[in-house]
A and B are shown apart, each in its own frame.
Chain A
Amino acid sequence: MNLKKKVKTKRVVISIVCLVLGFMIAYSYRVTQGTKSKQQFTDSQWERNLSLRNELNEQKEKNRELQKELNNKHEMVREYESQLADEAQVYFNLAEDAEKYRMFLGKVKVKGEGVKVTLSDGEYDPNDPNINNYLVHEHHVFKVITELYISGASAIAINGQRLTHNSYILCDGPVITVDGYQYPAPFEITAIGEPEVLSSALNITGGIKDQLVNDQIIFSLQEQNEIIIDPIVGRK
């Protein structure tokens, strides 16, 4: 009886152990199945991952192409800019030329070193009945001006009146008319240019100075560091 009971308890204990074992095996099996299905889900996820990566690569490719295009555009813009800069240079040169020509034409005030020639009527000589022998005539002025222009003067004024390409000088008795303005003696001829060249051109032996002095005209020459010639204000 005791032995039988012992066997029975043994059976029960073994049954419990088997129950636990069966439960564990079954449960583990289920968990593993779940993990497997999850694995499949991960597969689809992986596929999605792959497609996303492909898309990303495509986008990168596109980005690179766009970047290349952008670089090309930048290059074009730079070309345009340099072209513009060249044009600006051209315009600048043109403006400079215009300024220079304006100076030559007497439209603006000019300034520079040069010489000042003063021609005065000679002393009154009672022995000489002809007063024209010691007056300053237009041809005297012309000679000086021509000589100055030949020597490279860039701007000349008579008594402050700027001469231009179409100026005229008239002898009107004791006065000289320059472009309609009358000026009495003495005549101050200012010229802008190389002072040494101009003065030596005038002082040359047998040159203008000697001729004028022969004509009883008082001739004085001054080299000046700064001569300012005003623009032509108008014309009569």
Chain B
Amino acid sequence: MCATCGCGGGEGARHEHHSHPHAQEHGHGPEGGRVIDLEADLLEANAAFARRNRELFRRNGVFAVNVISSPGSGKTTLLVRTLEALRDRIPMAVIEGDQQSDLDAERIRATGVPALQIQTGKSCHLDAHAVSHALEEMTLPGRGILWIENVGNLICPALFDLGEGKRVVILSVTEGEDKPRKYPEAFHGADLLLLSKRDLLPYVDFSVDQCSDFAHRLRPGLDLLLLSAKTGQGMEEWLRWVEEGWLRAKASYRPEEPVVA
């Protein structure tokens, strides 16, 4: 049985019941049965775990970053470069979400930063419950950065809050500027849009302006950076963004348990 929620492992948490306070009964419906209006939030079970994760991060001064993109956008490469640049100054750890294999976690471990691989199996996204279990199995990088590399997918991960401090969406310029239009929710929920593989810009028809325009329709004020993890171009701005988030999270470090009223 799992310590977080007593769920027996594997399946999501169903133990919190905040989701349906206003259930009302009215008469009979078209199918001849009794009608009840539940008005129950489907994402509440996930939200409850996300709140718990967020509180854990806050108390430990951890800057948790949820990284979302389609497969092959260069997530892991960027992460490896970022870890190499910051590892001497900032405690870090990585949670890797993939449907199968330990390949990404191995690439991360080669940098010397601890990595935990979550294999989601049939599922196409990480959820807050899976992350809360991962957190039990690892040492939290106190006053540092926890990178959560989501399953490569621009659709499903967008709906699931993991309790992260910031959400970064990576879009490589080879994927085309129309992606915010096609997969709006990923961009709507993002704090930063990273346009990767900048070195390939001369070879593809990708309009940074158009992409930025669309992304801003979905999320006014969304930060946007253009970089190449391969050549290092734009990495400096990215690292500055990361450090700012890290410093802010570090400032909320509260090691003691909260006083319960």
Chain A partners chain B: no
- The residues of A with any CB-CB pair to B shorter than 8 Å are none
- The residues of B with any CB-CB pair to A shorter than 8 Å are none
